[in-house]
Amino acid sequence: MVLSTMAEGAVRGLDSLGNSVSAQFFEPTLRLGVTGLARAGKTVFITSLVANLLNRGRMLQLDAARSGRIDSAYLQPQPDDTVPRFAYEDHLAALTGPNPHWPDSTRAVSELRLSLTLRPRGVLAGLQGSRRLHLDIVDYPGEWLLDLALLDKTYTQWSTEVLTRLPARQSAAGYLQLLTSVDAAVAHDEPQAQALAAAFTAYLQAAREAGFYDCTPGRFLLPGDLAGSPVLTFAPLARDDSAGRGSLWREMERRFEAYKAKVVKPFFRDHFTKIDRQVVLVDALSAIHSGPQAVEDLRQAMGDVLAAFRPGRNGFLTSLLRGKRVEKILFAATKADHLHHQQHPQMTAIIEALTRAARDRAQFAGAETAALALASLRATTEEMRPHEGSDLPCVRGRLLSTGRQAAFYPGALPDDPAQLLAPARQGATHWLEGDYQAMQFAPAELQLKPGDGPPHIRLDRAAEFLIGDRL
């Protein structure tokens, strides 16, 4: 009697589990997060990755593609109805159509589902049918990860920190000037709150353009459909203990808390905690071209961005994750086609060094990490050009500014990344050795063979690291 009830219960339990689990079990999904600071190359990366998984002729370093284990790949409706779809077709048309051009900047979360049909592998290969894997790719701004630190702060703490930084920054002069006329204890007045928020946002924008990374709240710079709403209409004010109910200070404090609860937490809950694999794209070359301060800022920003992957530090995130973690994180220096391949090892060493601290921490938290230099869409060809008795390794492409073809030598990256990172850390204002030049190339006109995706550098290696073990 007891036995049979138990057995029945067990069967029923399995049954009800069955519906949800079987879909999970037989058609597993893998969520790949793609992030990086503004202009790091997220959109081009996703577009080219998907195009190269649909047409796998250039994916020889992806074992499942080379061995023919991927039977087919196709786009499907994504599972999340409220997240905008990644505009794959538009971006691909921009990059590979006639008169190719780079896609527009994208400033919010978007998602795309690519489904793969796979042949079984191993000893049972002959006995099993094919299986499916859904790859859900999520594009989100790296700036949003910086907001995690706000969760641990009160409005008073945040304001104090920001207001301490501002006097040293020229771009903050306008906001500080406005503050001198503000009495935080007076009754809240919406036009005044809006003026303060606008001036503070203008400062954040200028600070970001000047290369500073500590530009939280992140959504002030990328407001999307929250633009103009109260959660984005606040600014730091010095604490005023005389400010009572209904005062400007109290309302600002309330909105700061609302930003944390209604903007920051939902992003982590709905997007971040579901990610299985993560790629963090870094435009290290642009930072090197801009000089030591930009490199140091990038290094610090990477540390802060990646703090999110060490959730032990943040109680909110730890409780959300409940032991789940990102399994693999790839740090990729993008736009490697600006360099001749002779310089790629140096580029890889730099990205390794730039993300070392963050990687050590992630490894400590159990994620497997790797670093490499890649180009999602190769816009150049290589050539050696004679110069003062030796040959310089150059790249050639169509210049974005004039549309003309030009060969270009970006300068020699040092073998030891410390030669760049040490002066950056010590506050140098320009590079003593070497001079690094920036060049913007337009995407090349392509004539793709059937079965080939767009040309890239090491995108297949990136894919092997990120998803190869599940194919």
Torsion of CA 138, 141, 146, 148, to 10 degrees: -40
Name which of ligand GTP, Mg ion, none residue 111 binds, using a CB cut-off of 5 to 8 Å depending on partner kind. Answer: none
Q: Rounded distance, CA 99 to CA 76, Å?
A: 28
- Site residues (CB under 5 A) for Mg ion, limited to 106-135: 106
Q: Rounded distance, CA 264 to CA 148, Å?
A: 7
Name which of ligand GTP, Mg ion, none residue 201 binds, using a CB cut-off of 5 to 8 Å depending on partner kind. Answer: none
Bridge partners, residue 372, by sequence? 332
Helix (H, G, I), strand (E, B) or coil at 82: coil
Residue 43 sits in the site that holds Mg ion (CB under 5 A): yes
Of 11 and 210, the one with the shorter C-beta distance to ligand GTP is 210
Helix (H, G, I), strand (E, B) or coil at 113: strand
Of 410 and 417, the one with the shorter C-beta distance to ligand GTP is 410
Name which of ligand GTP, Mg ion, none residue 395 binds, using a CB cut-off of 5 to 8 Å depending on partner kind. Answer: none
Q: Rounded distance, CA 268 to CA 316, Å?
A: 9
Q: How far is the CB of 429 from ligand GTP (least distance, A)?
A: 26
* Residues in touch with ligand GTP (CB under 6 A): 36, 38-44, 102-103, 105-106, 141, 334-335, 337-338, 375-377, 379, 440-441
Of 247 and 334, the one with the shorter C-beta distance to ligand GTP is 334
A 10 A CB-CB count for 371 gives 23
Question: ω into residue 79 within 30 of 0, thus cis?
Answer: no
Q: How far is the CB of 255 from ligand GTP (least distance, A)?
A: 26
Q: Rounded distance, CA 180 to CA 165, Å?
A: 16
Name which of Mg ion, ligand GTP, none residue 369 binds, using a CB cut-off of 5 to 8 Å depending on partner kind. Answer: none
- Region near Mg ion per CB under 5 A, out of 51-59, 87-95, 102-110, 198-206: 102-110
Q: How far is the CB of 241 from ligand GTP (least distance, A)?
A: 41
Q: How far is the CB of 260 from Mg ion (least distance, A)?
A: 25
Per the listing, tokens 């907001």 go with 147
Name which of Mg ion, ligand GTP, none residue 441 binds, using a CB cut-off of 5 to 8 Å depending on partner kind. Answer: ligand GTP
Bridge partners, residue 282, by sequence? 333
Of 91 and 299, the one with the shorter C-beta distance to Mg ion is 91
Q: How far is the CB of 338 from ligand GTP (least distance, A)?
A: 6
Of 184 and 351, the one with the shorter C-beta distance to ligand GTP is 351
The answer to whether 201 and 237 are in contact (CB under 8 A) is: no
Radius of gyration of the chain (CA): 25
The one-letter amino acid at 339: L
Name which of Mg ion, ligand GTP, none residue 361 binds, using a CB cut-off of 5 to 8 Å depending on partner kind. Answer: none
Length of the chain: 471
User: For residue 32, what are the CA distances in angstroms to 76, 113, 275, 463?
Assistant: 16, 10, 6, 10
Name which of Mg ion, ligand GTP, none residue 247 binds, using a CB cut-off of 5 to 8 Å depending on partner kind. Answer: none
- Taking alpha carbons only, the member of 214, 187, 75 closest to residue 135 is 75
Name which of ligand GTP, Mg ion, none residue 113 binds, using a CB cut-off of 5 to 8 Å depending on partner kind. Answer: none
Q: How far is the CB of 161 from ligand GTP (least distance, A)?
A: 26
Q: Rounded distance, CA 335 to CA 410, Å?
A: 13
Q: How far is the CB of 201 from ligand GTP (least distance, A)?
A: 17
Which token pair is 433?
A: 């050795």
Name which of Mg ion, ligand GTP, none residue 136 binds, using a CB cut-off of 5 to 8 Å depending on partner kind. Answer: none
Q: How far is the CB of 35 from ligand GTP (least distance, A)?
A: 9
Q: Quick one: how far is CA 113 from the chain centroid? A: 18
Residue 458 sits in the site that holds Mg ion (CB under 5 A): no
Q: How far is the CB of 340 from ligand GTP (least distance, A)?
A: 13
Could you list the residues that contact Mg ion (CB under 5 A)? 42-43, 106
